[in-house]
Amino acid sequence: MPELPEVEALTAGLSRRTVGRRIDRCRLASFSALKTVDPPLEELVGRVVAGVERRGKFVCVDTDGLWLVAHLARGGWVRWHEVLAATAIKPGRSPIALRVGLDDGAGFDFTEMGTEKRLALWVVHSPEEVGPLAELGVDPLSPEFTVERLSELLGAASATVKNALTSQSLIAGVGNAYSDEALHAARLSPFKPAGKLTDDELARLHAAIVGVLSDAVERSLGLPAKGLKAEKRSGLAVHGRTGLPCPVCGDTVREVSFATRSLQYCPTCQTGGKPLADRRLSRLLK
């Protein structure tokens, strides 16, 4: 799933390539992905791209007052083409959800792999018209994200710290992977109650969130889109590394599995050496 660093890199790449270019065509291949009907998608044609920015995990393309907003969900991505194919896209037979062609023959696709099909697109006069975007919490790389703000957010959350970190209404842009990484760097159990962190734990967690995300953004910016996923995997310490040694202490990275996702952690670094119960296995044994 693309998270803040990958979306930041994808957005920066689109900005470099599209600002000042005119949109010559838009071809929608996934009709369920488009969540708005007015203004129509076709109204983007003929407009010049004025800017591209990231808000949380959303890609926001400003076409001189009319915005194309995309949420990439679990399997979405942005693919750039120096020369955009002229062949027609067949709905339902391609991972392409939307193809946007520019006046110089280049263009980009919003794509989605897998069967969930949760990628979402909006055409709006302002990004704030997109409900999920308007409800986003603080951006963890903004000046507003301080230790005090983190304390306020987590103090009011009746959830585990893992679930609180991935709640987009609290902190925008952090998902499953980077929450695992931040908790590992902060030496915190993912199941610790969010509202019961000490001042020292809050300070460690804040530094870990900012550090993990900043490092990932720095490594990702400038890379081609096809290299971002490999770069993400190479920079992870625990997420997706079940059974491998922790790069900090050498203990084996463990996993807790849920219905549709899993988390990874290091027992020595995070839980006092005690493995956490695997929720999926526990249910099977009942």
3 is a catalytic site residue: yes
Q: Give the active site residue among 3, 8, 112, 255.
A: 3
User: What is the Cα 218 distance to its own chain's centre?
Assistant: 16
User: How wide is the angle at C-alpha 22 spanned by C-alphas 16 and 24, nearest 5°?
Assistant: 125
Query: Catalytic site residue 57?
Result: yes
Determine which one of 17, 57, 162, 204 is catalytic.
57
Please identify which of the residues 196, 229, 233, 261 carries the catalytic annotation: 261
148-173 burial code (b ≥16 CB/10 A, e <16): ebbbebbeebeebbbebbbbbebbbb
Distance CA 48, CA 216 (A): 31
Phi/psi of residue 18, nearest 5 degrees: -110, -25
261 is catalytic: yes
- How many whole angstroms from its chain centre is CA 7? 6
Strands (DSSP E) found in the chain: 23-28, 51-55, 58-63, 66-71, 76-81, 96-102, 107-112, 120-124, 254-257, 262-265
Altogether, the residues listed in the chain come to a count of 286
Per the annotation, the verdict on 229 as an active-site residue is no
> 257 pairs with which residues across the strands?
262
Three-class DSSP category at 134: helix
Based on the number of CB atoms within 10 Å of its own CB, is 89 exposed (0-12), middle (13-18) or buried (19 or more)? middle
Q: Report H helices in 70-194.
A: 131-134, 147-155, 161-165, 176-186
Q: How far apart are CA 261 and CA 119, in angstroms?
A: 18
Enumerate the active-site residues: 2-3, 57, 261
